[in-house]
Amino acid sequence: MSLLHHWEHEFDKVKVRLHGLVTRLEMSWKKLVNDLEPEEFQAIVKLLQRGHDQARHVIDHGDLPDDEPTVPWELAHGLSILKIGNATPLPQSEDELPTRVLKDGTLLGCRKWELLDLLWSEALLKWIENLRHHAPFATQPALVKMDNDVVLAIAGDWGTGPFDSHAPAVAVANQMQLAEADFTIHLGDVYYAGTHSQEDVDMVGWPQGKHGSFTLNSNHEMYSGAHGYFKELAKRFPVQQGTSYFALYNDDWLVVGLDSAYASDAMNLYMDGTLNAQQIDWMKTLPKRKKLMVLSHHQGFDISGHNKTALYQPVCDALGREPDYWYWGHLHNGICYAPQGGLHARCAGHGAIPYGTTSELNGHARVLWSETQLAGDEAYPERVLNGYVKVQLKGEEIVETFYGEDGSVRWSSQ
């Protein structure tokens, strides 16, 4: 199939799926409106307006001002789909808007997984449906003893499932299998909205560790109220004991996996990491070790590594100190930051979503490495390599290796 025919086929499928999605979205919106207080209704309409205006500004001017906060791009098409106000529909095809790479590496375009992909509206739909309906928060976290010599394979934002024409997620999973890891850890995000069916389909190829696998909660899982996420734990991640946070330990290391999404602000679509009281209390009881590693979906620094997020200090306070290493996803990038104090921070959110070179990090003093190697993808010519990170712990020593989907070593601490 030629590339042109492939995209025509893809667009036809999207139109069918989108028709049903729009109908469901309109029905869910009407139901939610009846349940909302007037101020809540106005707050949501204001969010949708900001999402639309943000997209329009970036299309017209190339990017947002540095000091202007962004809103989730899942909101972009909401005004026009729900026929609220006089919103002019945004571009919906590559003919209307050829893909371009924004400074943070995201792809502004209309193809699958790009910022204006119409199917992101499913996240908006599920957010509306589950705004007041979250799965119960489980509080029996696993505390697992691991060997003193252990291998972890970590990938974030991996849950796309295979694309029709190619499969970055599959390529990354195949590379992870070669690591022969004791534990594999997904840092969260199953697309588009973490529904039970998406969790079931998109996570089926997740590479299992020899002694177990874990997956973290995230904003996309929360769009469906985390119902699909908690069901998936029981099916495919039994060592996690049905709980969205966990810890691994040995004689030298404590590795803490956190749920930074469940308590996050629903009105900001769970975009900012937050801890709830149950986790904070549990974190204070964990065994102390000389080396401390944190895993979360949301980040502790902004993308530049210059500013700490609101998640940073609560994590440090609950654990009694700054971690030695912290791996997060959420941003669709592969980034190694220079040490700040005693902390070595890493972004491993490049498990599968197509993204481009993050130009705002070029020459940045706080960045040791970010992925810039083009993947050679005919369908997404702007896409750089997806990948994962292999972490080897041997006593107090650690060796980190970022691998690309093609098996190449992209960065190593050795």
Query: Residue 128 and residue 133: Cα distance in Å, rounded?
Result: 10
Q: Quick one: pLDDT at residue 382?
A: 97
The pTM of the whole model exceeds 0.85: yes
Domain boundaries defined on the chain: 36-130, 142-412
Angle at which helices 3-35 and 121-130 pack, to 10 degrees?
Answer: 20
pLDDT by residue for the chain (414 residues), tens only, comes to 454 455 455 545 555 566 677 777 777 777 777 777 888 888 999 999 999 999 999 999 988 777 778 899 999 999 998 888 888 899 999 999 999 999 999 999 999 999 999 999 899 989 988 988 999 999 999 999 999 999 999 999 999 987 666 789 999 999 999 999 999 999 999 999 999 999 999 999 999 999 999 999 999 999 999 999 999 999 999 999 999 999 999 999 999 999 999 999 999 999 999 999 999 999 999 999 999 999 999 999 999 999 999 999 999 999 999 999 999 999 999 999 999 999 999 999 999 999 999 999 998 999 999 999 999 999 999 999 999 999 999 999 999 999 999 999 999 998
* C-beta of residue 187 within 8 angstroms of C-beta of residue 157: yes
Q: What is the 3-state secondary structure (H, E, C) of 305-358?
A: CCCECCCHHHHHHHHCCCCCEEEECCCCCEEEECCECCEEEEEECCCCCCCCCC
Q: Quick one: pLDDT at residue 7?
A: 45
Question: What phi, psi does 257 have (nearest 5°)?
Answer: -100, 125
Query: Residue 388 and residue 400: Cα distance in Å, rounded?
Result: 11
Specify the CATH superfamily of domain 142-412: Metallo-dependent phosphatases (3.60.21.10)
Cα 353 vs. chain centroid, distance in angstroms? Answer: 9
Q: Quick one: pLDDT at residue 146?
A: 98
**Stated length of the chain:** 414
Q: Quick one: pLDDT at residue 31?
A: 75
Query: Residue 280 and residue 28: Cα distance in Å, rounded?
Result: 35
